[in-house]
């Protein structure tokens, strides 16, 4: 019987957990490959150029990135994770590095060329020895990578894509093989279901696909803040409120704390906490809870946050 190995490609630029220590994060990722495969290597990609450069995200300028935490990367390395600095590449450096392809020309890729390169990407990872079945697991919120992984799956390669820490943690706790029981967004699927439709490679970041398996998307909600929240607190935490409005637009009420920090920084900048008068994400969330904006629950890797509305947890339907 052929043995199975897996390679983990982790995008620290878009999927660095907000409040999960490096050893716990690595332990959660290792569950994705268990129990049916052996993890051959785990690579974590980041871009050191973002430390002092201004980069663009959703049309907004931001300086730096949370992945530039040397202490966190050192801790990952002690857990057997290999940090990969993609600063030598231009443009979407982390995406290119994770694909294992360096584009020397600057010609615009047509869709056919994109599909061809997408099938060829990760080639050195997937094409192993004849007696080894190799699986690739990608953790990133990049739509470019999601599209490419789906193309590989359409061609019957074993590949899985997780676009948030909530999906990583959920899959790791599911019975059986997590990589066999999730679709491209990390959601459970029926074993006999056909492969999900391919997302557009030009789809904007943050637009989650909620139509997988023919299920209708959940209805959006309109945030209604509690009456006892002072206007100055609304201004101080306006980025947090914007993030929860985006969560509400997906028809959801809760978000994992591990993903909340990424979403806050995507909506503003890595300096968002200091600009609001707080040292870091932990102090920021503690203050938001103290001032009655949010409710938090769970523990450890299962911690979550939820907006309050009219003096109670949750948000009101529009």
Domain segments of the chain as ranges:
3-212, 231-313
3-state helix, strand, coil in the chain (%, to 5): 35, 20, 45
With bands split at pLDDT 50, 70 and 90, how would you rate the model's confidence at 151? confident
Q: Bridge-partner residues for 90, per DSSP?
A: none
- Can you give the pLDDT at residue 209? 39
Residue-wise pLDDT tens digits, 157-169: 788 899 998 889 8
Architecture of the structural domain at 231-313: Orthogonal Bundle (1.10)
Confidence band, pLDDT 50/70/90 cuts, at residue 198 = very low
Query: Please, what's the b/e burial string for 231-257 (b: 16 or more CB within 10 A of its CB; e: otherwise)?
Result: eebeebbebbbebbbbbbbbebbbbbb
In this predicted structure, the answer to whether residue 220 has a pLDDT above a threshold of 60 is yes
Q: How confident is the model at residue 53 (pLDDT cuts 50, 70, 90)?
A: very low
Please tell me the distance from the alpha carbon of residue 87 to that of residue 95, in angstroms, as a whole number: 11
Phi, psi of 24 (to 5 degrees): -70, -40
- Most confident of the following: 79-88, 178-187, 288-297: 288-297
pTM score of the predicted model: 0.58
Cross-strand pairs, 41: 7
């Amino acid at each position: 019987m052929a043995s199975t190995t897996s390679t983990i490609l982790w995008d620290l630029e878009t999927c660095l957990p907000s409040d999960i220590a490096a050893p716990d994060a690595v332990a959660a990722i290792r569950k994705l490959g268990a129990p049916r495969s052996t993890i051959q290597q785990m690579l974590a990609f980041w871009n050191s150029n973002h430390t002092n450069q201004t980069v663009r995200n959703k049309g907004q300028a931001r300086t730096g990135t949370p992945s530039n935490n040397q202490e966190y990367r050192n801790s990952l390395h002690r857990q057997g994770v290999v940090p990969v600095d993609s600063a030598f590449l231009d443009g979407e450096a982390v995406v290119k590095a994770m694909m294992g392809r360096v584009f020397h020309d600057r010609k615009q890729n047509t869709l056919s060329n994109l599909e061809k390169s997408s099938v060829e990407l990760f080639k050195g990872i997937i094409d192993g020895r004849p007696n080894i079945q190799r699986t690739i697991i990608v953790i990133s919120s990049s739509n470019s990578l999601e599209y490419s992984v789906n193309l590989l799956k359409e061609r019957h390669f074993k590949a899985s894509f997780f676009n948030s820490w909530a999906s990583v943690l959920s899959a790791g706790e599911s019975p059986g093989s997590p990589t066999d029981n999730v679709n491209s967004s990390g959601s459970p699927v029926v074993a006999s279901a056909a492969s999900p439709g391919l997302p557009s490679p030009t789809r904007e970041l943050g637009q989650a696909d909620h139509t997988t398996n023919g299920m209708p998307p959940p209805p959006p909600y309109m945030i209604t803040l509690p009456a006892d929240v002072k206007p100055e607190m609304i201004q101080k935490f306006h980025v947090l409120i914007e993030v929860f409005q985006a969560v509400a637009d997906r028809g959801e009420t809760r978000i994992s704390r591990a993903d909340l920090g990424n979403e806050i920084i995507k909506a503003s900048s890595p300096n968002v906490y200091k600009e609001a008068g707080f040292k870091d994400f932990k102090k920021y969330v503690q203050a938001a809870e103290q001032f009655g904006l949010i409710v938090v629950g769970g523990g450890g890797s299962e911690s979550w946050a939820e907006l309050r509305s009219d003096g109670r947890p949750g948000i009101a339907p529009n």
